[in-house]
Amino acid sequence: MSTSTPSTANGNDSRQFKGDRSPCGPSRVLHVRKVPIEVSEAELISLGVPFGRVTNLLMLKGKNQAFIEMASEEAAITMVNYYTTATPHVRNQPVYIQYSNHRELKTDNLPNQGRAQAALQAVNAVHSGNMALGGSASGSDGALMPGQSPVLRIIVENLFYPVSLEVLHQIFSKFGTVLKIITFTKNNQFQALLQYADPMNAHHAKVTLDGQNIYNACCTLRVEFSKLTSLNVKYNNDKSRDFTRLDLPSGDGQPTMDPALTAAFGAPGIISSPYAGAAGFGPAIGFPQAVGPPFDLLSCVPPGLSMHTMTGALGPLAMPGSISGRMTLHGMAPIAVHAVLLVSNLNPDSISPHGLFILFGVYGDVHRVKILFNKKENALIQMADATQAQLAMSHLNGQRLHGKVIRVTISKHQTVQLPREGQEDQGLTKDFSGSPLHRFKKPGSKNFQNIFPPSATLHLSNIPPSITDDILKELFAGTGYTVKAFKFFQKDRKMALIQLGSVEEAIQALIDLHNHDLGENHHLRVSFSKSTI
């Protein structure tokens, strides 16, 4: 490989890059520094392929530098924007990419360019071939043949603890450049679509991660190829992220990540380098080294839960080779400052602090509720800790309550203030911190294992012996709900399942009838069930 520069690349870039240089304006020619001497042409070209066609390459091995020419300035801009926030690594070494002050590379008359041209032809042929596979797909899906897509569909089962977009980025970026992530709830399951720069990255991630647990004994990943080949992300917020477009808005009322979260995860919205490689998840978040199969991916202690809370629950599950509770101490502790939720699009005519306390109490212990005095369709809910707040948000955001689809996000407030003495409040603010109805007061409570998304089937418990199925069905029907099915547990008639007409009905019934007095000093306990009848 020649170590001389092309006629248009006269060495100014390499000289200027020795110190801090003032950035050039956008150009489709990019200058790459700190290139390891053993790097191949194909490896460098692969840095550009996710963003568009690479039209030329010049490697200056003696100077540990290279020039990459993209087909368009737009592709180069997207590439620089991405790698500015997520430093690429080649052969486990960071490389640095910036605009060149040259407009094109002219390498025709240079010796030893044969390998670079052959690599360009090979990579572009593969890339074109992948695109051509989708030629018969209809519309804008641009679908590839099964197994060829750079987009993965991810389902998280046994979601006992919240899994955020950031956590997915941490795990999946071990396998290559993650360009975009969209998270959503479908069929009462937390799901995500994740786009890699390269279909091979998607293949390796699928093979390695399918069936793995994020935390010990819970949050199981189901990974498959999506039929889509590209994701269209409109907003950068806690539900979706385009790591190549930091200029995207946060969306309609959707906050960007809380300042505490941003500080914890590194700016701006990128947790760590997507090329962290075998060294672990990257320094910004302080994760210890990643653990491969058969151990779990992060830790036996979910983020935000303190060690004393977990002593009786998941603490004993730590095993040799798994990541212990160090994660709580060193990793995500900054998140714990925000346990307040902002709930919006409520029905102001039907909502009450008690109703919100009962509903959100399914996912954690609610300490305070404030319906905003001048905007009664909004409320602030203070949970016991940030993990419970995340859990409630992940399960209740997008659910229907009193005929309206509610939106749940993390608030910037750290606490919910009680009204001052004499201040007009109309009973809109309530302190529930001493309530006997908290489900999670006891460390290691069985209730931690029975947290499920809202569903049309409710789990009933604490039923006295004298109560028959007809009495319970009449209780729900008489309160205005459609009872589709009912059955007692065979081994324990203190518990039963009841299936109502819809998820919305079940949510309302839980609010109305949890803690209902059944007599004989028994109060009905209601929660969502993972089962159907």
Nearest Cα neighbor of 515 from 504, 528, 503, 526 is 526
The pLDDT, as a whole number, for residue 222 is 93
Q: How confident is the model at residue 8 (pLDDT cuts 50, 70, 90)?
A: very low
Residue with the bigger pLDDT between 215 and 278: it is 215
> What CA–CA distances, in Å, run from 47 to 32, 113, 240?
10, 19, 23
pLDDT at 413 over 80: yes
pLDDT at 204 over 90: no
Residue 198 CA, distance from chain mean position:
20
Nearest Cα neighbor of 527 from 463, 464, 459, 475 is 459
Q: How confident is the model at residue 298 (pLDDT cuts 50, 70, 90)?
A: low
The pLDDT, as a whole number, for residue 249 is 87
The pLDDT, as a whole number, for residue 126 is 56
pLDDT at 86 over 50: yes
The pLDDT, as a whole number, for residue 30 is 95
Q: Look-up: residue for tokens 């950031």? A: 166
The pLDDT, as a whole number, for residue 138 is 30
**Joined tokens for residue 341:** 């939720």
C-alpha 378/C-alpha 257 separation (Å) is 19
The pLDDT, as a whole number, for residue 403 is 94
Q: How confident is the model at residue 350 (pLDDT cuts 50, 70, 90)?
A: very high
Considering only 21-25, 73-77, 144-148, 250-254, which range has the smallest mean pLDDT? 144-148
Residue 257 CA, distance from chain mean position:
12
Query: Helices marked H in 330-385 — which ranges?
Result: 353-360
Supply the pTM of this predicted model: 0.44
The pLDDT, as a whole number, for residue 330 is 27
Q: How confident is the model at residue 87 (pLDDT cuts 50, 70, 90)?
A: confident
The pLDDT, as a whole number, for residue 84 is 81
CB within 8 Å of 75: residues ≥ 6 apart:
28, 48, 51, 52, 53
The DSSP code sequence of 114-161 is HHHHHHHHHHHHHHHHHHHHGGGS-TT----STT--SEEEEEEES-SS
The pLDDT, as a whole number, for residue 41 is 86
Average pLDDT over the chain reads: 75
CB within 8 Å of 492: residues ≥ 6 apart:
none
